[in-house]
Structure 1
Amino acid sequence: MSSLSVRSILADGKLVGDNFHDWYRTLRIVLMHEKLIDVIDKPHVPEPSNNDDAETISAYKKYLEDLMSTKCLILSSMSSELQRQHEDMDPTDIIAHLKKMYGAQSRTPRYQLSKTIFRSMLNVNAQVGPHVLKMISLMEQLEKLGCKLGKELSQYLILQSLPESFSPFIVNFNMNKMDCDLHEMLNMLVDYQNQIDSGKNQGSVLVVGKLNKKKGKWNSKSKRSLSSLKVV
């Protein structure tokens, strides 16, 4: 694989903060491919004195070139705001500062992710599929940072992010204590929204049913009409 191809991996996943762990893992892969990993893993090379031989001076010049190449790689793979914060630092100082800000021991990325999840709301006329997929992705990212919400709380957060039109679904879901994972729940919500849209066009009664485990969809045999829930 060419250097250009490897470096494009970083360009496709620029550091914005919450993705620090994925970004840092990719950065190390790129630096290893470029034979620059020692720049961030080993101590600074001291500046040679006037008494040092030509080989030592040449090695130091090579180190300075590698230092600049590494710094350019790191900065080019960041958001513009993070670039401004770190443009005057050496690569090792940049990594140390980022680890302090976003590393495993930092609460900042977990707080930012949880805030996004807890405040997520589906607009009335928006599609439920992309909305729930985004929430699931955020929950998975939060889990990678050591903060696991658990299935039930994750389901509640998704349900609480839905507009009033999903109230019949929420009532039925909680009453039946449906045992499904988040992606199965996603399929159920998409099917339910399709029923809402279809009912608006046809003036029919909404139908709520149980999940078909094999297909992750509503099981038509187990559907039951909720006569009191008519499409507006």
Structure 2
Amino acid sequence: MSTLSLRGILENNKLAGANYDDWYRNLRIALMHERLIDIIDKPAVTAPVPKEDGSIDNDATKPYEKYLENCLTAKCIILASMGSDLQRQHQDMDPPTIVEHLKKMYGAQSKTARYQLSKTLFRSTLDVDSPVGPHVLKMIDLIEQLEKLGCKLGKELSQDLILQSLPETFSQFIVSFNMIKVSCDFHKMLNMLIDYENQIASEKRKELLW
């Protein structure tokens, strides 16, 4: 992958708070590709100390000048990957300070958001008299939000969570779904559940007519 395309990932997924984990992962990939990851991972290179006569050894100056050049490049990449408000807030900081400050700002928020989303997801249950469509759509949305925060549950576990949230009236559907091991995405599963719900409703109407 080219340098431009890697930077494009950051530009197309700029830091917006909730996506901090994804942004930070993409940033590290871009910096590693450009051999700049040491700028944020290792201690800063210090300026060479002048000799007693006030002169500075050229051999000691070159690594420091190279570090300053790399530091500026890394800073530009980081600033370009965030919105204008965050740019203004961090434009006078060096790269390690920027990363540390953003971690304090958004790292804890991501953990709190993951906790609240997972809590809501794992405790979701469908009331007997409530429609299955909105309920499952809400669970799918929670799963997708968790994925954006770096918490990937996987398709099978996610489908299990959805099935476990359903009332006893869907027991036959759950048995059939697990037995035939249907390979489908969330929205196909949703359509199957809605069809099953309509089938149950139709059978109840027939019973009333009899």
TM-score of the superposed pair, with normalisation by structure 1: 0.58
* CA distance in 1: counterparts of 2:36 and 2:63, whole angstroms: 14
Q: CA deviation at 1:74?
A: 0.7
Residue 174 of structure 2 aligns with which residue? 178
Greater helix share, structure number: 2
Query: Relative CO higher for 1 or 2, CA cutoff 8 Å, sep ≥ 6?
Result: 2
For 1:80, the equivalent position in structure 2 comes to: 84
Distance 1:143 1:3 in 2: 24
Once superposed, what is the RMSD of the aligned Cα atoms? Answer: 4.3
Instruction: Report the CA distance shift for 1:10/1:192 in structure 2 as closer, same or farther (over 3 A).
Output: same
1: CA distance between counterparts of 2:2 and 2:150?
34
The question of whether the paired residues in 2 share the 8 Å contact of 1:128 and 1:189 is answered with: no
Do the aligned partners of 1:16 and 1:82 also contact (CA within 8 Å) in 2? no
- Identity across the alignment (%): 38
Show CA shifts across 1:99-131 (max 9, x none): 33344xx3x213335557859xxxxxx999876
Give the corresponding residue for 1:16: 16
Partner of 1:190: 191
Of 186-195 and 78-87, deviating more is: 186-195
Render the CA deviation track for 1:154-206: whole Å, top value 9, x for unaligned: 549x88xxxxxxxxxx6733x6683669x76643433455799xxxxxxxxx3
Counterpart residue identity of residue 28, structure 2:
R
For the pair 1:3 / 2:3, whether they are aligned, the reply is: yes
1:207 pairs, out of 179, 189, 199, with 199
Q: Deviation at 1:76?
A: 0.9
Q: Which has the higher strand share?
A: 1
* Mapped partners of 2:14, 2:2: distance in 1: 20
Which amino acid letter does the alignment assign opposite residue 151 of structure 2? Answer: K
Deviation larger for 37-46 or 131-140: 131-140
Q: Residue 205 of structure 2 corresponds to which residue in structure 1?
A: 227
What amino acid is aligned across from residue 226 of structure 1 in structure 2? Answer: K
Structure 2 portions without partners, runs of 5+? 122-132, 179-183
C-alpha distance in structure 2 between counterparts of 1:24 and 1:62, whole Å: 24
Please give the alpha-carbon distance, in whole angstroms, between the structure 2 residues aligned to 1:129 and 1:177: 15
Structure 1 ranges of 4+ moved more than 6 A: 126-130, 150-153
- In the TM superposition, residue 59 of structure 1 has moved relative to its aligned partner by 2.6
Partner secondary structure for residue 203 of structure 2: strand
Unpaired segments of 5 or more residues in structure 1? Answer: 120-125, 160-169, 197-205, 210-223
TM-score computed with the length of structure 2 as normaliser: 0.63
Code of the residue aligned with 2:105 in structure 1: it is M
How many residues align? The count is 185
Specify the code of the residue in structure 2 equivalent to 1:172. T
